[in-house]
């Protein structure tokens, strides 16, 4: 009887029960130069929602190579070769102080069109990168939805 129980426990560990929630993924690329003549860097982030519950993972965006630069634009490409997220999904780029460095401008993104926003308003010119961001994508209901995000940084 003990052997049977041990075998069942081992089988449960080696062969987990299907139907468990699969996490979504986000792959954060290193910032790269746009062009030798343009003092800007672009950082590409490719995200895919969970196949089971449509959630995107909270993701750290490492900004070491762009520390002290300005976050000037963000583009979003819904679908990016796969299923598109729900219309009006939201993105935030939160810093260590809990502030959204995208200034709320990445709310209500299109599920069909690639969009680009300039990250500036009348009270803040451009946010200076002072540390890593936490990327959050919310209000999606489509399993395995994909979105590509490009962060564009300029030197001071």
Write out pLDDT tens, residues 98-124: 999 999 999 999 999 999 999 986 666
Question: What does DSSP say about strands 70-78 and 38-48: parallel, antiparallel, or unpaired?
Answer: unpaired
Whether the CB-CB separation of 143 and 51 falls below 8 Å is answered with yes
Q: Where are the domains of the chain?
A: 21-154
Write out pLDDT tens, residues 27-84: 999 999 988 888 899 999 999 999 999 999 999 999 999 999 999 999 999 997 789 9
- What's the confidence (pLDDT) of residue 81? 79
Which residues sit opposite 117 in a β-bridge? Answer: 74
For the cut 60, the answer to whether the pLDDT of residue 6 exceeds it is no
Whether the CB-CB separation of 71 and 155 falls below 8 Å is answered with no
Task: Say which range, 9-18, 116-125, 139-148, has the weakest mean pLDDT.
Answer: 9-18
On whether the 21-154 domain is CATH 2.60.40, my answer is no
């Amino acid at each position: 009887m003990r052997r049977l129980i041990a075998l069942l426990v081992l089988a449960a560990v080696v062969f987990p029960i299907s139907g468990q929630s699969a996490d979504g993924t986000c792959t954060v690329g290193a910032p790269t130069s746009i062009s030798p003549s343009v003092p800007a860097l672009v950082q590409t982030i490719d995200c895919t929602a969970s196949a089971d519950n449509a959630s995107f993972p909270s993701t750290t965006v490492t900004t070491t190579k762009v520390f002290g630069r300005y976050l000037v634009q963000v583009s979003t490409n819904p679908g990016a070769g796969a299923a598109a997220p729900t219309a009006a999904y939201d993105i935030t780029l939160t810093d260590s102080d809990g502030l959204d460095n995208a200034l709320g401008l990445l709310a209500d993104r299109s599920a069909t069109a690639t969009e680009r926003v300039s990250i500036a308003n009348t009270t803040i010119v451009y946010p200076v990168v002072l540390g890593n961001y936490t990327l959050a994508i919310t209000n999606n209901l489509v399993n395995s939805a994909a979105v590509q995000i490009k962060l564009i940084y300029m030197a001071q």
